[in-house]
A and B are shown apart, each in its own frame.
Chain A
């Protein structure tokens, strides 16, 4: 299995530009998670989907952030407009969850974002 795939691996952009991060979860997994990791705040859950439906987006910082999951094999996290404080490593993770289940999440390699 290829594991969780994220692209791009690195992104450098200027303040005000739109940034789109992409994730392909592990085939067969039905839950997808977006995290942000910074030195200041550690690993934070931004949003997660179950069966392509957003379940909890309470971690999304503000309206500049949006996430979609149009199908079971693809998700995007968009920042528009980007700001320097958005600089972080963004991870996507996926898992297969049964009802009431407690299944392990598998992480992608992350996208390192730098907003100048």
Chain B
């Protein structure tokens, strides 16, 4: 029979343009958020993180914005390159006693066109 999988939203961006990937999180008590990049055939790779006491954090070519009021997270990639093509996941942290775990979103596929 035909399989039905997750429908990953896809963002197509021209090389050199800026990319913005959005994520809504569910737990208002989450206090730490991470963006991961997953290339085909590889494990998720850490890109950038942000704590809930911040609303913006910048890395090399990447910026994460956090809006706790509407529980929204975004990842901005400047001057997008072909090597940025991947699936991007946001993850929120929750605590269990002294240990913590991440809950991942469904992901967004970024396609960079030449």
Contact count A vs B, C-beta below 8 Å: 68
Tally of contact residues, A, Cβ under 8 A: 29
CA A43 to CA B102, docked complex, whole Å: 11
Task: Select B42's contact among A42, A97, A99, A110, beta carbons within 8 Å.
Answer: A110
Asked if A101 is an interface residue, CB under 8 A from chain B, the answer is yes
Q: Is the CB of A55 within 8 A of B44?
A: no
CA A4 to CA B43, docked complex, whole Å: 10
CA A102 to CA B66, docked complex, whole Å: 16
Max chain B C-beta neighbours (<10 A), residue from A41, A104, A110: A104
Q: Is the CB of A42 within 8 A of B104?
A: yes
Task: Select B5's contact among A39, A48, A93, A110, beta carbons within 8 Å.
Answer: A39
Q: Is the CB of B101 within 8 A of A48?
A: yes
CA A107 to CA B57, docked complex, whole Å: 22
Q: Is the CB of A48 within 8 A of B34?
A: no
